[in-house]
Amino acid sequence: MMLENESHGHIELIIGPMFAGKTTELMRRVRRELFARRSCYVIKHSRDARYSRESVSSHDKLLLGATAAVAELREVGDAWCPYDVVAVDEGQFFPDIVAFCNTAADAGKTVIVSALDGDYRRQPFDGICRLIPLAESVKKLTAVCMECHCRSASFTYRTVSSEKRELIGGADMYIAACRTCFVTKSKKRAELEAKGSVQTPDKCSDTPAAEKQKGEQREAEEDPITPPTTIAAAEPPLSASAVRKRPVGVDGNVPTDAERCTSKARLECH
């Protein structure tokens, strides 16, 4: 970290996979600057509302009030100018991250950025890669592998099927993985998709499979499906009065229409 008494601006970049503590580190540095009586302007992305819409939040639910929530950094205009420190969380989501940070640092501001350095396919985020040579300090954090729980994790593995590059989520959609577990899980998924055992990403919804299955089970319990029953057409039951009015034969049986009708009546019936 740069010394607080330095008058010129600089860029501090915090990168790594998900669950590595990038946002927590950004919060720590901002609070340190606040303790040093320096004003801070905190920016979060408007799409990131996983834990809070108004605050920057880490996965462990630590909160830091955000000054602005925008889709592009140019939307804040020059609102950051009166502040000593400008902090940007989830920097990989902002298309204009490089120009904004460079402008703020050239204006004498301390710029702190936390961001993913790669996506779920281990492909680099262009803006963050271009920001690295412009930063005075770059800190690469690692997580603990959430698959084997015994190695450091440098990569983010997506556990749901979706081809969207920017799919905001938490532990319900992603895990931090070491190289061995990332490669093993990626190969296994590719083999299953090749065999047709699992849906391919372009045919899958973004809903986690476990949650989707639980939802279907809940729906089945709440609204059980009754098997269709075929009901044969039947004449309406006769009322008691109608039964009493029907003529009865000598033997006690109800005569048929042929027995009851006269020759004239038969002609009228036909």
Active centre residues (catalytic): 90
The residue with greater pLDDT, 110 or 44, is: 110
Does the CA dihedral 177-181-183-189 come out positive or negative?
A: negative
What band does 146 get if pLDDT is binned at 50, 70 and 90?
A: very high
Residues 126/114, Cβ–Cβ less than 8 Å: no
* Res. 116 pLDDT band, cuts 50 70 90: very high
C-alpha atoms less than 13 angstroms from C-alpha of 94 in its C-beta half-sphere = 28
What is the reported pLDDT for 250? 46
- Please tell me which residue, 150 or 51, carries the higher pLDDT value: 150
Average pLDDT score over the chain: 77
Evaluate if residue 259 carries a pLDDT over 70: no
Would 266 be classed as within a structural domain? no
pLDDT of residue 130: 98
Whether residue 212 is contained in a domain is answered as no
Q: How confident is the model at residue 176 (pLDDT cuts 50, 70, 90)?
A: very high
3-state secondary structure of 157: strand
pLDDT range class, residue 177, cuts 50, 70, 90: very high
Total of domains in the chain: 1
**In-domain check, residue 113:** yes
Looking at the chain, the whole-number percentage of residues with pLDDT higher than 70 is 63
In a domain, 227, yes or no: no
Residue 199: the pLDDT is 53
Range of lowest pLDDT (152-156, 166-170, 233-237, 258-262): 233-237
pLDDT at 75: 95
Give the integer Cα–Cα distance in Å for 106 and 224: 65
What's the domain range around 192?
A: 10-202
242 found inside a domain = no
Confidence grade of residue 123 (pLDDT, cut at 50, 70, 90): very high
Angle at 156 between CA 154 and CA 160, to 5 degrees: 160
Q: What pLDDT was estimated at residue 240?
A: 46
**The pLDDT of residue 35 is above 60:** yes
pLDDT bin (cut points 50, 70, 90) of residue 210 is: very low
* pLDDT beyond 50 at 236: no
Confidence band of 163 (pLDDT split at 50, 70, 90)? confident
Q: Which residues contact 153 (CB under 8 A, 6 or more apart)?
A: 17, 19, 20, 142, 143, 144, 145, 146, 176, 177, 178, 181
pLDDT-wise least confident of 27-41, 87-101, 156-170: 156-170
What pLDDT does residue 13 have? 99
Q: Does residue 198 register a pLDDT over 80?
A: no
pTM for the model stands at 0.67
Say if 250 falls within a structural domain: no
Average pLDDT (227-235) is 39
Backbone angles phi, psi at 89, to 5 degrees: -95, 150
Q: Which of 138, 179, 131, 126 is nearest to 157 (CA)?
A: 179
Q: What is the per-residue pLDDT for 66?
A: 62
CATH number reported for the structural domain that contains residue 89 in this entry: 3.40.50.300
Q: 129 or 56: whose pLDDT is higher?
A: 129
Is residue 102 in a domain? yes
